[in-house]
Structures are given as C-alpha cells and as structure tokens.
Amino acid sequence: MSLETIPESWLDTLENDEDVIAWRSSVDFPNSLTEMLFFIQRHSPRSLERMVGSPEGMPQSFAHWWCYMRVARQEQLPAPVYETIEHWKKHIGKYHAKILNGGAPTDVSVITVFITWLDQLTSDQILFQDENVRWFVPRKYGNLILCNAGGSPASRRDTVEFIKAQGHLIFKERGFKEGEQYWTDMCTKYPY
C-alpha cells in the first residue's frame, strides 16, 4: 500500500491529477456516489489502489475520498461522511466511554473496541454454555451493542456476526482493501 497525504482540496485535483483527469474526461461520468465508484472501478482501477490518509484516521482509497468529497460539496456538507464509522463513534462515546478511559472515539479505537467485544463474547462462550446475559459482556440490541442492558438481547452468535459485518462495512465504505483483508483475517479468530 502506498500512502499519500490527503490533498488540501479535492477541487485542486481536477486539473492536476492524471487519474481524476481521466475519469472526468468521460461524458458518462455519473453523479451518484455509488455510480461514481463503480465507474472508476471499471475505467480506472489503479485509482482505487491509491491510498490517502491523515494522522487522525484510517487510510482510504483516493477514489473513495474524492467521490465522497465531491458529494459532500454538492450537498453542502463539511466533509466526507462515513456513516458506519460515525454511527459507532457516537455509540461508543455514549454507551462505552469507560472502555476508552475517557478519550474520544477515533476511527482506530472503534476497530479496537470491536476486537475487544469479540474477545469478550468468545471468552463468555468458552466459559458458559448458556445464553444468559452477563455483566460487561456485550450483546446486540437492535443496531446497538450494549452491556448490562437486560431485556432480550440477540444471541452471542448473532452479536458476533453483527460486529464482524459492521467492521467489514467500515473498511468497505472507505475503499480500504488492505484494512478489509486485515478485518477478514481477524474475524477468522472468531468463527463461532
């Protein structure tokens, strides 16, 4: 993976980046985010292999960054919004702040918390054959992961599968193929 720094502005790339010039020269270049990414994947796969990053976050594909920035500007949003990671940063900050020792959730800490949850669930499964809810063992409730919530949570298996799927979405929406492979490899430790 070659990691580039995120350019100052996606607009600066319109005239000076050879990949961007190649996609934008097509009269068929689409407007929706998903269609843009599929178009780039078909016509300029090399662009998806380029990675950009910042000190605060995980890497992402150049094409994903560019398309998200373009859509954000069209919709007058401040920056690319990666919905899955943002959901989990808010959720972890609200319900699981203790696990971060009071720090604010980051992209990387979300993945770390996911791995912690998977470890806790695996330990619980090894130690206990039943599906009883235990203190500080995370469980899925709707689209959230909570500890000590009582009620009727999802099974450990469903909780593990949900966490694995959410991790894949985080890497997929960034186009971070190496991260996606890392997560796939990590998930093999939790076969359930």
The DSSP code sequence of 65-83 is: HHHHHHHHHHTT-SS---H
Domain limits, the chain? 3-74, 83-187
pLDDT by residue, tens only, the chain of 192 residues? 678 888 888 999 999 999 999 888 888 999 899 999 999 999 888 888 899 987 777 899 999 999 999 998 888 888 777 899 999 999 999 999 888 887 899 999 999 999 999 999 999 999 999 999 998 899 999 999 999 888 899 999 999 999 999 999 999 999 999 999 999 999 999 987
Q: Please state whether the predicted TM-score (pTM) of the whole model is above 0.85.
A: yes
What confidence score (pLDDT) does residue 6 get? 86
Strands (E), the chain: 3-5, 51-53, 60-61, 139-141, 144-146
CA distance 69 to 127: 47
23's CB contacts (< 8 A; 6+ apart) are: 29, 39, 40, 43, 44, 47
What confidence score (pLDDT) does residue 8 get? 86
* Closest residue by Cα to residue 6 from 76, 17, 87, 111: 17
What confidence score (pLDDT) does residue 137 get? 95
What Rg, from alpha-carbon coordinates, does the chain have?
19
Sole residue written with tokens 């990671």 = 85
Report whether 5 contacts 54 (CB < 8 A).
Answer: yes
